[in-house]
Amino acid sequence: MSSNFSLTSSLQPPASSLSPADMRRDYCRGILEKSALQDDPLQQFHVWFQEAFICQGVIEANTMVLSTTSHDLQITSRTVLLKGYDQAGFRFFTNSTSTKGKQIAENPRVALLFYWHALERQVHINGTVIVLPRIETEKYFQSRPRQSQLAAWASHQSTPLASREELEECFKKIETRFENKIVPTPDFWNGYLVEPYSIEFWQGRNNRLHDRFRYMKKENASWKMERLNP
């Protein structure tokens, strides 16, 4: 069967549509002044996170982009969910045999990005990852919905999969394996803590003259804050 499909033509937007280069939106939801910021960036993150949580336009305020790098400098990014934060840093849980798990083992320096579009705000975090104590991972895993626990066992995360049917069949086998039993925490499933050394708060402003403030951790564990050019 012949096909008229053309990759070149398919990439061209219809005449009536707008080119990405022509898309414009001004940011006018708020301003960010140094005087309004907390001295501690973790406290400032808490303020913004609470505001994102109650904002109806923000879906899953705990969504964050995690970027990791392998020993040969291959960079990958994906969306994960923040599962806790405090003065120590930012916590998430994942399969340690996945691409992100392997890259973290090779290079513990990572970046996090929160983007709350409805508030025209971003938080950029750079930090070093450590593996959480096993007791914390066990506690969190056992708090997950049972179907999510089973999915963690069924998915060989980041490895090739022949079909959707293969994944669903594996899930059924796991269901049978743990039927009427507590689903144990897999030994390949871990919790991670990102200990930040740089946290930036970005507030969109009009004319692309955004407000940016970056906190950098000093040797004495205190923080230095500075305004950045947009």
Write the pLDDT tens digit of every residue in 139-195. 999 999 999 999 999 999 999 999 999 999 999 999 999 999 999 999 999 999 999
Residue 139 domain flag: yes
In the chain, % of residues over pLDDT 90? 87
Give me the pLDDT at residue 16, please.
Answer: 65
Q: Is residue 96 part of a domain?
A: yes
Cβ neighbours around 45 below 10 Å, total = 20
Tens of pLDDT along 53-111? 999 999 999 999 999 999 999 999 999 999 999 999 999 999 999 999 999 999 999 99
- Quote the domain boundaries for residue 84: 26-144+189-228
- Domains of the chain: total: 1
- In three-state secondary structure terms, 200 is strand
99's tokens: 């691409």
Tokens of 197: 């050394």
User: Does residue 149 lie in a domain region?
Assistant: no
- Asked whether residue 130 is domain-assigned, the answer is yes
d(CA 86, CA 108) in angstroms, rounded, equals: 19
In a domain, 62, yes or no: yes
CATH number of the domain that 89 lies in? 2.30.110.10
| Listed range (4-18, 19-33, 172-186) with the worst mean pLDDT | 4-18
Sorting pLDDT into bands at 50, 70 and 90, what band is 14?
Answer: low
Residue 19 maps to a domain: no
The answer to whether residue 161 is domain-embedded is no
Structure-token match 């140094």, residue found: 34
**Cα(first)–Cα(last) distance of the chain, in Å?**
53
Query: Rounded to two decimals, what is the model's pTM?
Result: 0.89
The single residue of 144, 208, 212, 227 carrying the catalytic annotation is 208
User: What DSSP element (H or E) covers 172?
Assistant: helix 164-177
Using CA atoms in the order 133, 134, 137, 138, what is the torsion angle rounded to 10 degrees?
-140
6 is a domain residue: no
> Which whole number is the average pLDDT over 19-29?
87
pLDDT of amino acid 142: 97
Residue 144 among the catalytic residues:
no
Half-sphere exposure for 206 (CA within 13 Å, toward CB): 3
